[in-house]
Amino acid sequence: MNHNYLRIRNDNLQQAWARSPQELARCLPAALKGDGLHFQAFGEPCLLTREEITLAGQPAEGPEGLLIAMYAKSVPDLPVQMTPLKSFKDLPDSMPYHGAFAVNAEGILIPHVPRINLHRKTIAAVFSGQINAEPLSGDFSFTLYPLPRVPLYYIFNQPDEEFPASATCLFAANATDFLPVAGLADVAEYTAKKMIAIVAGE
């Protein structure tokens, strides 16, 4: 992470800890222990302290660390309202980011759809999610939780002789209560990259 990103991450982290540890633990939500706040983020065990963020025991000094700090600063103690699900373009003020979202959060998944299908249960487990029992549409579907109150609802279509594969990422109705729209786009992008890493065996 370059110095500017690290400064922004640490500013967000400082603002997050303006709340009491108990309040922050309730909002994330997280388990409050002696060494900090423990929860799952981007498919890894996350530890949030006043000075640092770690994922799987390693300093989170990339974009995921910045997004976790933004989430910790922003997240209110509100329930997630899943329905009606919203596409990214239906989120307020999303237009400047829509093109990048279509490429970086959905488009990069399309070549991997058959392998994502094979590994769908593993992917759902890594992200503390679930296979959607009655999906809205598509050949298969699951919901992932890259952050505890930021569910992503995915719908996939397998390629066949008539149609190419497709990948759609939908958001909870009140997703912008927990992160600004630019942050939501980035969360979906890094979730997609993690999915690709999983199916590639990395």
Per the CB < 8 A criterion, the answer to whether 92 and 179 are in contact is no
pLDDT greater than 70 at residue 2: no
Above 80 in pLDDT, residue 4? no
Q: What angle do CA 7, 181, 66 make, to 5 degrees?
A: 25
- Look up tokens 């997240």; give the residue: 75
What digits encode the pLDDT tens for the residues 86-115? 999 999 999 999 999 999 999 999 999 999
Confidence of residue 1 (pLDDT cuts 50, 70, 90): very low
Residue 35, Cα to own-chain centre: how many angstroms?
24
**pTM recorded for the entire structure:** 0.95
For helices 3-16 and 63-74, the axis angle rounded to 10 degrees is: 30
DSSP state of 103: I
The amino acid sitting at 98 is: H
